[in-house]
Amino acid sequence: MTTTDPRRAIPRTDVLLAHPALAAAIPELGMPRVRAAVRAAQARARSGEIGPDEVAGSARSEIAHAREVPISLRRVLNATGVLVHTNLGRAPLTEAAIEAIRVAAGYVDVEFDVGTGARAQRGRGALDALLSAVPGAKAALVVNNGAAALALAASALAAGREVVVSRGELIEIGDGFRLPDLLESTGARLREVGTTNRTHLADYRAAVGPDTGFVLKVHPSNFRVNGFTRTVGCAELSHALSENEIPLVVDIGSGLLQSDPMLPEEPDAASTLADGADLVTASGDKLLGGPQAGIVLGRADLIERLRRHPLARALRVDKLTLAALESTLTGPPTGVERALHTSADEMHSRTIGFARALGDIDAEVVAATGAVGGGGAPGVPLPGWAVAIPETYAVPLRTGRPCVVARTHAGRCLIDLRCIDPVDEPALAARVREIAEGGS
């Protein structure tokens, strides 16, 4: 007796692509994504997960999900209490910056003067905004990240020459990237001075000479050295170098443009330039709260040398970054700024309200300490509060929708609201209740 294989009833790809609902999605999502949804549905039918008559409906569901989640990156609710979380994309952009990106996504006058019809300075709005934010800077340049800013400075000012730097500042940044390797890749030679814990002005004086491209000071991100230590301040070092007209380049790292009482030991661009730095390099997506970018501020002649260097073309940012950076500088307070200045009392009030919204779930309001993260303000605690629930909630929170990343500590899952937008709290509370009721 001959039996008919039910898989023969699975609709063909061309038939499914002609289905009105699927065909209508092609102009919006593109043929590759729609075809992928069709083939995924057909594969489910071949495995016996669904019937042949359910293939079209399964493909439509895939398309609906693709509309809701148009990229592979997932939106995450950051309940860790870490403001600048590198693994979660660092600084969240403001709504103003997001709107600026939307506007810049089309044709824009990024490098064009509509009045004269001639070529114009690229990203002049973002550069003007930087100079307004740091009046002590005579010029500004934007590249694609903080490491690129430092690499460009070394390439333009010290290729084939020496960069004098304290041994205590030869740091390693994320994912195993080391500052010495970065600098040496540009053709510069490192001249290390001092020791790991103590460097004196005399060490710098003995090292500088005709072969010195510049002296570099680096903010030691992610760690602090305490005890028997000595460093040379920017003002003292600048005064000594002025005798030889040797540039002083300072990498402040975190992108703080002006001093902040919350972070009294964190270097900022304005103060560093006022203390005599010739160039300051920083990141745009840390304490500044903007998009990933490398910012260079300082002397106009040195900035011009960097801008004219061939590597600058390879490291320049696109119109979307320029738009987001300008809007960040001229717009409302950023998410990082708001989270940084949220008081412990405000955190306590929000956390109590959130705990009540969880209903009968085993939850407790506990003291919790947040952090700046991203290499900014190492060792500076941000006192606050969190809701402690059983540790078993952590995995379903991460893998569900919305995706919530929380901390686990001492057998409990801690939900810290410091970096959660209040408008997202109801959805977060609903997700916790759903897990408590047995939802996946």
| Cβ proximity of 290 and 329 under 8 Å | yes
- Domain 76-87+337-436 is of which CATH architecture? Alpha-Beta Complex (3.90)
* Continuous H helices in 74-200: 95-104, 124-133, 146-158, 179-184
Give the closest residue to 246 by CA, choosing from 198, 302, 295, 288: 302
Q: Do domains 76-87+337-436 and 94-332 have the same CATH topology?
A: no
The domain segmentation of the chain, as residue ranges, is: 10-65, 76-87+337-436, 94-332
DSSP string, 317-380: --HHHHHHHHHHHHSSPPHHHHHHT--HHHHHHHHHHHHHHTTTS--EEEEEEEB-BTTBSTT-
Q: Note the pTM of the prediction, 2 decimals.
A: 0.87
| Cβ proximity of 108 and 319 under 8 Å | yes
* Torsion sign (Cα): 110, 115, 120, 121: negative
Sheet holding 382-390, edge to edge: 76-79, 403-409, 412-415, 382-390, 364-370
- Domain 94-332 is of which CATH architecture? 3-Layer(aba) Sandwich (3.40)
C-alpha–C-alpha distance, residues 156 and 300, integer Å? 14
Cβ count within 10 A of residue 268: 21
> What pLDDT sits at residue 147?
93
The C-alpha angle 285, 280, 232, rounded to 5 degrees, equals 120
> What pLDDT sits at residue 176?
77
Provide the residue-wise pLDDT of the chain in tens; the chain has 440 residues: 455 677 788 999 999 999 998 999 999 889 998 999 999 999 999 998 999 989 999 999 888 877 777 777 889 999 999 999 999 999 999 999 999 999 999 999 999 999 999 999 999 999 999 999 999 999 999 999 999 999 999 999 999 999 999 999 988 877 778 999 999 999 999 999 999 889 999 999 999 999 999 999 998 866 677 778 788 999 999 999 988 899 999 999 889 999 999 999 899 999 999 999 999 999 999 999 999 999 999 999 999 999 999 999 999 999 999 999 999 999 999 999 999 999 999 999 999 999 999 998 989 999 999 999 887 777 789 999 999 999 999 999 999 989 999 999 999 999 999 999 999 999 999 999 999 998 65
Give the closest residue to 91 by CA, choosing from 229, 291, 279, 311: 291
C-alpha–C-alpha distance, residues 118 and 111, integer Å? 9
> What pLDDT sits at residue 8?
84
Give the closest residue to 299 by CA, choosing from 208, 203, 214: 214
Q: Which amino acid is at 420?
A: I
Do the strands 212-218 and 162-166 form a parallel or antiparallel pair, or are they unpaired? Answer: parallel
Q: Which amino acid is at 319?
A: K
C-alpha–C-alpha distance, residues 45 and 320, integer Å? 42
C-alpha–C-alpha distance, residues 36 and 39, integer Å? 5
C-alpha–C-alpha distance, residues 289 and 284, integer Å? 7
Q: Which residues contact 351 (CB under 8 A, 6 or more apart)?
A: 365, 384, 385, 386, 387, 417
The C-alpha angle 249, 255, 261, rounded to 5 degrees, equals 110
